[in-house]
Amino acid sequence: MNDLPIGTVEFSGVSKRYRLGGLGTLRGTLAALSSKVRGNGSRELWALDDVSFRIEPGSILGLIGPNGAGKTTALKLLSNITQPTMGRVAVSGRVSSLIELGAGFHPELTGRENIYLNGAILGLSRREIRDKLDQIIAFSELERFIDTPVKRYSSGMYVRLGFAVAAHVAPDVLLVDEVLAVGDASFRQRCIEHMRALRQRGVTIIFVSHNLHLIRSMCDTAMLLVGGRIQATGTVDATLSAYESALIEASAPHARPMPPDSAGKPATAQLVVTSVQVLPSSSTDQGRLLSHQEATVRVCYQARSPQQIGRIDVRTLRADDTLCSAIDSLGCDGHDDRFRVLSGGGMIDLHYHPLQLTTGRYYVLVQITDPSDSLVIAAGQSQPFDVSEPYCVPDPGVYLPRVQWVHRERSEPGEQGLERSGCYPPELSPIEQQSGGD
């Protein structure tokens, strides 16, 4: 098992079965046993199904997939929390995880006491912790509060302390599971810097996130898990596009605009997207959407109680389900408080200036995720809409760039060069701009 180079991770034919319900009380076990006798074995779930892969030391793998795809199970197997039902998991070197920051923290104990405890849980010896104590405290920026019980800490301070300990474990294999969903923007930035520094040191990193931008910027390779199986693996770009098309496939059927009190899930949901509309911004053009003009996607929502959210994700798709654009509320201006809590009813406008879609029929999908950015808690879809554009080539593609043609003719020395240029789409005249009323 340990003849692998340090930092190697290898799954060979790994399957993991969970039994649902059943055990927990004697009565439950008896019921489970009797159902087994009757041959009713349907209450089990294969979280991973014959998964094999190998990660070489020093590489960063992005693990992506919808909820329940088996990502967390894979991490649990890697960190030895649980054992495979079949197959073999081999990891060489020290594994550490940025999964549960501040695990084992006790609110009554001081920051310093908790550093020792948490460090020991992560596998450090007391001696190692003592040696690194000053660094850990400095890293956490909690010098003034280090002898205060952590029950007086804010949640941000709590996470910072947990991260400071976890960052000093010096692993050979690091597992990261959506920790970046907690904490503020600067914390997120430090996490990323930390991961980059570890990568420099040749640490193998396995990174689970729903934030595809981050996966793209951090990882060398990616693996897409769907339903416990590897659906795609290889370069980040190929895997991500496989994932995006899988996402669209999965979300399209049940993401229709839903009235708040219709039967089923929406009635119990805390947050509902009541409508998604695509509106032309200008009052001219009789409500038509034009490629070179501005447009607004208006998302109306209803929240039964103030609802913390992670991210609003707006995708534009052509009628044939080609993804044309994907915008999310994190990508815009860092971490914006406007999008942290939704309460009551309201609407969110997303302005496109200009729209830049070519002639064709499109629709917009909206998804709102929970604060951990791992669950879609509300979704909606617009009616199909048509975009038109007066100067259309036969096959315009999906995107209408704003271009400028420049033509420079080579001229004889001493003569004035002749320069011709033109814009497309044509610049709006001042009068049109006024009537646009932006």
Partner 1 sequence: MVGHWAKLYQYRDLLWLWTLREVQIRYKQSLLGIAWAVLQPLVLAVVFTFVFSQLVRVDTGEIPYPVFSYVALVPWTFLSTSLSFGIASLVNNLNLVTKIYFPREILPLASVGAALVDLGISAIIVAGMLLAYGIRPSWASLWVIPLLILQIALTVAVVLIGSALLVFFRDVRFVVPLLTQVWMYATPVIYPASIVPERFRTLYFWNPMAGIIEGYRSTLLNGTPPDITHLARGALATLALLIGGCLFFKWAEPAFADLI
Of 55-63, 113-121, 192-200, 232-240: span binding partner 1 (CB under 8 A):
113-121
Q: Which of 33, 44, 54, 108 binds partner 1 (CB under 8 A)?
A: 108
Residue 309 region by backbone torsions, left for phi larger than 0, else alpha for psi between -120 and 50, else beta: beta
Among 116, 318, 323, 324, binds partner 1 (CB under 8 A): 116
Residues 6+ apart with CB under 8 A from 165: 102, 115, 118, 119, 122, 136
Q: Does 113 bind partner 1 (CB under 8 A)?
A: yes
- Round the CA-based radius of gyration of the chain to a whole number and report it: 27
Contact 60, 220 (CB under 8 A): yes
Q: Which stretch in 105-113, 258-266, 318-326, 349-357 sits in contact with partner 1 by CB under 8 A?
A: 105-113
- Our CB check for partner 1 shows the closer of 47 and 212 to be 47
User: In this structure, are residues 90 and 80 in contact, taking their beta carbons and an 8 Å threshold?
Assistant: no
Binding of partner 1 by 122 (CB under 8 A)? yes
Closest separation in Å from C-beta 156 to partner 1: 20
Q: Is 20 in the site for partner 1 (CB under 8 A)?
A: no
Q: Is 80 in the site for partner 1 (CB under 8 A)?
A: yes
Please identify, using beta-carbon distances, which residue of 117 and 398 lies nearer to partner 1: 117
- Token readout for 248 is 């669209």
Please, which of residues 49-78 interact with partner 1 by CB under 8 A?
76
| 394 makes contact with partner 1 (CB under 8 A) | no
Of 31, 90, 121, 327, the one binding partner 1 by CB under 8 A:
121
CA dihedral 103, 104, 109, 111 (to 10 degrees): -30
Q: What phi and psi, each to the nearest 5 degrees, are found at residue 317? A: -125, 145
Candidate ranges 61-69, 80-88, 270-278, 407-415; the one touching partner 1 (CB under 8 A): 80-88
HSE at residue 275, side-chain half, CA atoms within 13 A, is: 9
- The CA distances from residue 108 to 161, 293, 372, in Å, are 15, 59, 26
Residue among 54, 126, 288, 353 that touches partner 1 (CB under 8 A): 126
Report which residue type is found at 415: E
> Is 106 a binder of partner 1 (CB under 8 A)?
yes
CB of 132 to partner 1, least distance (A): 14
CB nearer partner 1, residue 177 or residue 313: 177
Q: How far is the CB of 293 from partner 1 (least distance, A)?
A: 51
State yes or no: residue 330 binds partner 1 (CB under 8 A): no
Beta bridge partners of 303: 271, 344
* Strand, helix or coil for residue 265: helix
Task: Confirm or reject binding of residue 428 to partner 1 (CB under 8 A).
Answer: no
Q: How far is the CB of 4 from partner 1 (least distance, A)?
A: 17
Amino acid in position 42 = S
What are the tokens at 358? 């070519």
**How far, rounded to the nearest angstrom, does the alpha carbon of residue 26 sit from its chain's CA centroid?**
40
Cβ neighbors of 375 (< 8 A, separation 6 or more) are 67, 369
Q: Is residue 41 close enough to count as binding partner 1 by CB under 8 A?
A: no
Nearer to partner 1 by Cβ, of 109 and 279: the residue is 109
Q: Does 24 bind partner 1 (CB under 8 A)?
A: yes
When asked if residue 117 is in the footprint of partner 1 (CB under 8 A), the reply is yes
Say if residues 162 and 127 touch (Cβ distance below 8 Å): no
Binding residue count for partner 1, defined by CB under 8 A: 33
CB of 27 to partner 1, least distance (A): 8
168 in contact with partner 1 (CB under 8 A): no
CA distance 121 to 104: 8
User: Can residue 327 be called a binding residue for partner 1 (CB under 8 A)?
Assistant: no
Phi then psi dihedrals of residue 110, to 5 deg: -75, 170
Q: How many CA atoms lie within 13 A of 276 on its CB side?
A: 28
Where do contacts with partner 1 occur on this chain (CB under 8 A)? 18-19, 23-26, 29, 76, 79-83, 95, 97, 99-100, 103-104, 106, 108-109, 113, 116-117, 120-127
